[in-house]
């Protein structure tokens, strides 16, 4: 009876080994489990004894799969079947016949489950794939001073393999109610916008955007900018991205009347529309494992008004992740306009800091 029991254990163990994927390392070790996915750097093996194991490709001598694997190539084709390796090639036993793929041509290997998830990610529903962040900052003083300020910021981004939707909004309001303070409202600015980008090739993309701004202290009721053009992915890695953009935009500005001062008479309301060029660059760099730096600079020269009239924007931000959903965010922005209403300043500087709560869907 004992011998029969041992035989059953050995048989069960042998069967589980027989129907598992096998990975042979260059040092002679044999690993068994289920191959789930790989990229060009490493292969992931799911095991019952050590969870998921990531193995560098340069340490692998050969693989043998009993399950169906989907082998993606640089040519954009995918071959499915059981996989073995021989003489540096992937030998895929597909239903249509055996296919040999050079190892250097393989970009990814996926199990049925991973392949289904990958295909679903290529065409997600509009409400899927969003990363949303909200930042809130508030300050209040009393006693010898009487001030309060509130800053709110929102960002939303949905990126797929072929397009991207990004949205943003921020507002800053501050006032000083101390006796004799003038003006009482010291900041009242709102900004927001959205952009849609779609890849035309691996490096070239087209985009369309809409941006809006209001600034009570500059008497800017509303500035609306609608634009579009082309961009180039100069650098496009998981660590760093650098895009150059160029195009045209249509801008409409509405300024209210500027009250008279001791040195200047009252200025009438202004409403103007014009076409302008859009020239800009956007940079993203991951600093370590928890901090992301972003920088954007744009130049908008006026094409319709006489004289050297233009607008520039510069934004710099840093987000440091504190947990999976909480981050510390700092943002600096500067908008420069050459021709604001007389009596108002050309620069608007915005600096915000606070905790950022992130939601993903």
Q: Could you tell me the residue ranges of all domains in the chain?
A: 2-122, 130-360
| Domain 130-360 class, CATH top level | mainly beta
β-strand 60-64 against 69-73: which pairing, if any? Answer: unpaired
Structural contact between residues 295 and 319, judged by C-beta atoms closer than 8 angstroms: no
Average pLDDT in the chain: 85
What DSSP letter does each residue of 59-101 carry, written as one string? Answer: GEEEEE-SS-EEEEETTS-EEEEEEEEETTEEEEEETTEEEEE
Please tell me the least confidently modeled range out of 95-109, 157-171, 172-186, 264-278.
Answer: 172-186
Q: Is the pLDDT of residue 51 over 80?
A: no
Q: How far apart are CA 278 and CA 269, in angstroms?
A: 26
Range 128-158 burial, b when 16+ CB lie within 10 A, else e: ebbeebbbeeeeeeeeeeebebebbbbbbeb
The predicted pLDDT at position 357 comes to 85
- Let me know if 212 is exposed, middle or buried by CB neighbors in 10 A (0-12, 13-18, 19+): middle
pTM, rounded to two decimals: 0.69
Please indicate whether the domains covering 2-122 and 130-360 agree at the CATH topology level: no
Q: Where are the alpha helices (DSSP H) in the chain?
A: 2-18, 112-122
User: Residue 296: how many CB atoms within 10 A of its CB?
Assistant: 17
The predicted pLDDT at position 293 comes to 93
| Architecture of the domain whose range is 2-122 | Roll (2.30)
- SS3 assignment, position 338: coil
Work out the pLDDT band at 50, boundaries 50, 70, 90: confident
pLDDT tens-digit readout, 336-358: 998 888 777 888 888 788 888 88
pLDDT tens-digit readout, 215-271: 988 888 999 999 999 999 999 888 999 999 999 999 999 998 877 776 777 778 889
């Amino acid at each position: 009876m004992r011998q029969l029991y041992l035989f059953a254990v050995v048989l069960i163990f042998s069967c589980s080994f027989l129907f598992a994927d096998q990975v042979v390392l260059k040092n002679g070790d044999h690993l068994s489990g289920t191959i789930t996915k790989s990229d060009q750097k490493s292969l992931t093996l799911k095991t019952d004894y050590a969870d998921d194991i990531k193995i560098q490709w340069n340490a692998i001598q050969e693989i043998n799969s009993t399950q169906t694997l989907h082998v993606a190539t640089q040519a954009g084709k995918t071959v499915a079947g059981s996989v073995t390796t021989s003489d540096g090639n992937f030998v895929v036993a597909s239903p249509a016949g055996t296919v040999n793929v050079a190892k250097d041509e393989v970009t990814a290997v996926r199990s049925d489950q991973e392949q289904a998830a990958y295909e679903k990610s290529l065409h997600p529903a509009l409400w899927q794939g969003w990363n949303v962040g909200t930042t809130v900052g508030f300050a209040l003083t009393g006693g010898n001073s009487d001030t309060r300020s509130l800053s709110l910021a929102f960002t939303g981004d949905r990126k797929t393999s072929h397009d991207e939707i990004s949205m943003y909004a921020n507002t800053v309001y501050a006032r000083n109610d101390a006796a004799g303070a003038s003006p009482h409202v010291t900041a009242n600015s709102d900004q927001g916008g959205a952009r849609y980008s779609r890849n035309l090739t691996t490096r070239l993309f087209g985009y369309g955007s809409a941006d809006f701004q209001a600034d009570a202290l500059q008497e800017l009721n509303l500035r609306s900018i609608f634009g579009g053009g082309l961009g180039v992915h100069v650098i496009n890695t998981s660590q760093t991205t650098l895009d150059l953009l160029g195009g045209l935009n249509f801008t409409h500005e509405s300024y209210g009347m500027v009250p008279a001062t001791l040195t200047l008479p009252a200025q009438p309301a202004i409403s103007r529309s014009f076409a302008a060029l859009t020239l800009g660059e956007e940079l993203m760099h991951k600093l370590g494992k928890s901090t992301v730096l972003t920088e954007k600079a744009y130049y908008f020269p006026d094409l319709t008004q006489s004289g050297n009239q233009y607008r520039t924007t510069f934004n710099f931000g840093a987000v440091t992740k504190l947990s999976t959903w909480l981050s510390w965010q700092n943002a600096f922005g500067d908008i420069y306009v050459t021709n604001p209403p007389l009596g108002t300043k050309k620069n608007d500087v915005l600096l915000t800091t606070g905790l950022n709560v992130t939601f993903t869907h």
